Structure 1
């Protein structure tokens, strides 16, 4: 009888300890949120950065090295890294695989016309460009259009050692032990309301998961857009729940995950 009570008590202690551990897995918090912006467009500088900075939130900006905004406002992009935002790699020219449904892909930047060497060289050249801007060597990548292959060859596998993490485009969230750093899932924003965006964050809290959010247009600048009000509502919600949610750039979260998974 006493033995059964001891065993039962130990089991309850282990379960309680396990639950406590899962509730503070993310750097002492219940969940993690990474805010990302793709393509390096003016609206990120004009509309996203002022809100982020006013709230004291840090995000990851996946930079297309030869974007129009980069060509005209290089110093502005450099300055956001000084303020604690991450400059991530989003290739030099944003090539994607063309074809039906992707008629907007220009032939010069259609991955079907690329060699594996070309995409590797352009991606690594973008790393050098970004290093010249922020002085950093360790970096994360976001696949353009989620594409990871040229023909039968996975160029993502060949880039794995160049990056701490690489972000894909599948709309999924995972607990810390299930995150795949070579293809981190994310939720792409395309017209969602502020309530819909905050619902994603609430789901991450309930499941002790990582939520990565992908913005393109912010109040314009891209057909994949979020309104200024919805964008602000979402960021304000995150700020209000900082005690429960770890909000950090992808590089910081990826380094933490890598260390955790390596234990």
Structure 2
């Protein structure tokens, strides 16, 4: 009887794994490549490799960044080519009261904001992004991963403005556990290609969502990964497109919403 119970449990486990194996758009896992802050390295280093391989990503733009104003035609071209222009707020406010936040400018200290101000600035950035790409559906990324203003979850008033929001906590989540109000991701800073590819392989074996968060690629930001390492990761993803669904955040989030509605 004990052996029968063990066999039944094993079969149930294998059955569950088989059901989850192709849950991500008929692929083993989903990978989203995100690039924060609207810096020159996005356009000069990351985008050319992505486009050469036909991979689509999400670029979270700070509306006030001079790289948005000065290179708007290239952002528009990126959107026309299938990349998402996500909302990373107008001024990238972060909570200056937290440890290690000496870089926060007094005018853009989230702890001094009201919820109404934060919501208004984020909606203004949506208007700017729509003027660039003509789209009304997009995702949001919390600057510095900060979720609250004086204990108020400011995104609560923005749920109808976005498909989903990306946070900064590192985790691989199965489709049923993805929190669309605060999607987990892995921030990259100094990792080599082997380390990044290992994350992809783990997502494949666990049938989970893996979101990469990049800032600098080949320079341009204090948080950075090497140009060659980034390229090797992208080539690995391209070589395994049959097993991995690689798409912008807005597409993956909409897919998750649809799967839950059915």
Against the structure 1 CA distance between its residues 16 and 150, is the aligned structure 2 distance closer, same or farther, given a 3 Å change threshold? closer
CA distance in 2, matches of 1:45, 1:81: 12
Match of 1:143 in 2: 142
Q: Which runs of 4+ in 1 moved over 4 A?
A: 9-17
Structure 2 SS opposite 1:32: strand
In the alignment, structure 1 residue 240 sits paired with structure 2 residue 213: no
CA displacement, residues 43-99 of structure 1 (integer Å, 9 cap, x when unaligned): 100000000001110000001011021121111111100111000000001111113
Q: Compute the displacement of 1:15 (Å).
A: 6.1
What 5-or-longer segments of structure 1 have no aligned partner? none
CA distance in 1, matches of 2:101, 2:171: 23
CA displacement, residues 208-244 of structure 1 (integer Å, 9 cap, x when unaligned): 0000000000111110001001100111111111110
Q: Compute the displacement of 1:159 (Å).
A: 1.4
Structure 2 SS opposite 1:25: coil
Match of 1:188 in 2: 187
CA distance in 2, matches of 1:170, 1:10: 36
Q: Compute the displacement of 1:18 (Å).
A: 3.7
CA distance in 2, matches of 1:225, 1:195: 16
Q: List aligned pairs for 1:151-170, cutoff 5 A.
A: 151-170=150-169
Structure 2 SS opposite 1:206: helix
Q: Compute the displacement of 1:19 (Å).
A: 3.2
Give the alignment's TM-score, normalised by structure 1. Answer: 0.93
Structure 1 SS opposite 2:165: strand
Match of 2:29 in 1: 31
Q: List aligned pairs for 1:1-263, cutoff 5 A.
A: 17-99=15-97, 100-263=99-262
CA distance in 1, matches of 2:231, 2:13: 39
Structure 1 SS opposite 2:130: helix
Deviates more, 1:127-136 or 1:203-212: 127-136
CA distance in 2, matches of 1:11, 1:231: 41
CA distance in 2, matches of 1:94, 1:56: 30
Query: How many residues matched?
Result: 258
| RMSD of Structure 2 on Structure 1 (CA) | 1.9
Give the alignment's TM-score, normalised by structure 2. Answer: 0.94
Against the structure 1 CA distance between its residues 42 and 28, is the aligned structure 2 distance closer, same or farther, given a 3 Å change threshold? same
CA distance in 2, matches of 1:171, 1:33: 14
